[in-house]
Amino acid sequence: MVRKFCFALLGFVFIVSSWAIAQEASWTDKVDLGMDFRYRHEMQDASEEKSHPRHRQRIRARLSVHGEVDESVTLHLRLSTGSSSERSTIASGNETLGDGGANDPFWVDKAYMQWKATEASTFHLGKFSTPFYRASKSQLIWDSDFTPEGFAYKYRRKGNSVSWFFNMGAMWLDENDSTNDTADHGIFGGQLGAEISLGEPVLVVAVANHTFPNLKDSTTLDGGSSGSGSGNSTYTATGPSGSLEKYLYDYNLLEGAIELRSKVAGLPSSVYINYVQNQEPDDDNMGYLAGFRMGQVKDKGDWAFIYNYRKVEKDAVIASLADSDFADGKTDIQGHTVAVVYGVFKNSDIAVAYFDAEREVKTTKNGYTRAHVDFSFKF
């Protein structure tokens, strides 16, 4: 009797809920769901460290939800794979296969409120994508998977031939329970740029300043263990927690970027250069990335070709926040990247990338190569 009652109650709840949802079906128009999945085969060859290349396979899965609060306010949430056991994954959502089939965790990759205050002004609060323009998605300073936390503001004023934009952010890196304010570390950045129409070609020019208060003498962002710092200048300090690697310098970055967008043989293309200089150290403080991109993958049969060359000195950028693929996410590097992407199905593509790098450029110039074959799907 009790079982029948429970089933009847569940049936009633189901019917009433279905009716209520049908009556309020418009809420679905205010919520968007999305997911992307990437399966990667990766080869790494660091001849100075290992006698043979390393092969591994990795996945990245992300689930996103976007909801409309009202006409000007939206909420955004994205969950992603990734390992919390490695601080170096601050800029990666990859999960390496081969842990005996153990369940893999999902983490909060994005969680923020977006307020479009005016047609030109947008505010972000929470954990979001890097708010700064990056020439052709350059990862010279910011890895594409890095999602900072705090406050951001974007302004864009459209004109007939020139559109101006301004981006700024005040974001956290480390909050420490201390009476000393210098124990906290963050990012303060501002960027001013213009998008100039030259007929069909479009020229984008931007300058920026990114400061990282109190980073000098603090534990490295990738954990502080021996050998950490990923190429940045560090020193070893001994304290109650044992020996820790700490940054030797602060980071006050001046950045410039130029990108020319046009069509080549009917394909969207761009050529660009991204330059950065850290104002704190007297040397080993400069980096640049220059390259071009041809094509764009949106549908089956589309393709794209990407090439760039970079040189990043030891303290030009914070290694833990920059490109985590090239030279294994280190600084004091130089080399080439070549990639080809092809649309296999709608919303599905295959990409092959090859990274030919040198590490410890100023001293030993050790070779480091890496190759990816990615199968990506999204909806």
Pairing of strands 73-80, 251-264: unpaired
Does the pLDDT at position 346 exceed 80?
yes
Q: What percent of the chain has pLDDT over 70?
A: 87
CA gyration radius, the chain: 23
Structure tokens at 129: 């994508």
Q: What is the reported pLDDT for 288?
A: 98
Amino acid identity for residue 224 in this structure: G
Q: What is the reported pLDDT for 156?
A: 97
Does the pLDDT at position 36 exceed 80?
yes
Q: What is the reported pLDDT for 364?
A: 87
Rounded Cα distance, 124 and 293, in Å? 30
Q: What percent of the chain has pLDDT over 90?
A: 73
**Spatial CB neighbours of 36, under 8 Å, sequence gap ≥ 6:** 60, 61, 62, 376, 377, 378, 379
The arithmetic mean of pLDDT across residues 187-213, rounded, is 96
Q: What is the reported pLDDT for 20?
A: 45
Q: What element of type H or E holds 5?
A: helix 2-23
Does the pLDDT at position 255 exceed 90?
yes
The arithmetic mean of pLDDT across residues 143-152, rounded, is 96
Rounded Cα distance, 59 and 376, in Å? 10
Please identify which residue in the block is written with the tokens 């150290």: 281
Please identify which residue in the block is written with the tokens 């090859």: 354
E-strand ranges in 50-134 read 54-68, 73-80, 95-96, 107-115, 121-127
Does the pLDDT at position 363 exceed 50?
yes
Q: What is the reported pLDDT for 29?
A: 80
Least confident interval from 24-28, 160-164, 304-308, 322-326: 24-28
Q: What angle is formed at CA 19 by the lines to CA 17 and CA 25, rounded to 5 degrees?
A: 95
pLDDT of 72-95, one tens digit each?
Answer: 999 999 999 986 544 445 778 899
The arithmetic mean of pLDDT across residues 256-262, rounded, is 98
Choose between 364 and 261: higher pLDDT: 261
> Closest by alpha carbon to 212, among 190, 243, 185?
185
Q: How confident is the model at residue 2 (pLDDT cuts 50, 70, 90)?
A: very low
Q: What is the reported pLDDT for 178?
A: 63
- Domains belonging to the chain, first-starting first, are 29-378 (2.40.160.10)
For the residues of 191-241, what is the DSSP string, one character each?
A: EEEEEEE-SS-EEEEEEEEEEETT-TTSBPTT---TT-STTS-EEEEEETT
Does the pLDDT at position 323 exceed 50?
yes
Q: How confident is the model at residue 10 (pLDDT cuts 50, 70, 90)?
A: very low
Start-to-end CA span in the chain (Å): 46
Counts of helices then strands in the chain (DSSP H, E): 1, 19
Number of other CB atoms surrounding residue 244 within 10 Å: 19
Please identify which residue in the block is written with the tokens 């031939």: 161
Rounded Cα distance, 356 and 326, in Å? 8
- Residue 266 backbone dihedrals phi, psi, to 5 degrees: 80, 5
Choose between 179 and 198: higher pLDDT: 198
DSSP character at residue 175 = -
Does the pLDDT at position 228 exceed 80?
no
Does the pLDDT at position 316 exceed 90?
yes
- Residue 5 backbone dihedrals phi, psi, to 5 degrees: -65, -45
pTM: 0.89
**Spatial CB neighbours of 323, under 8 Å, sequence gap ≥ 6:** 91, 139, 140, 143, 329
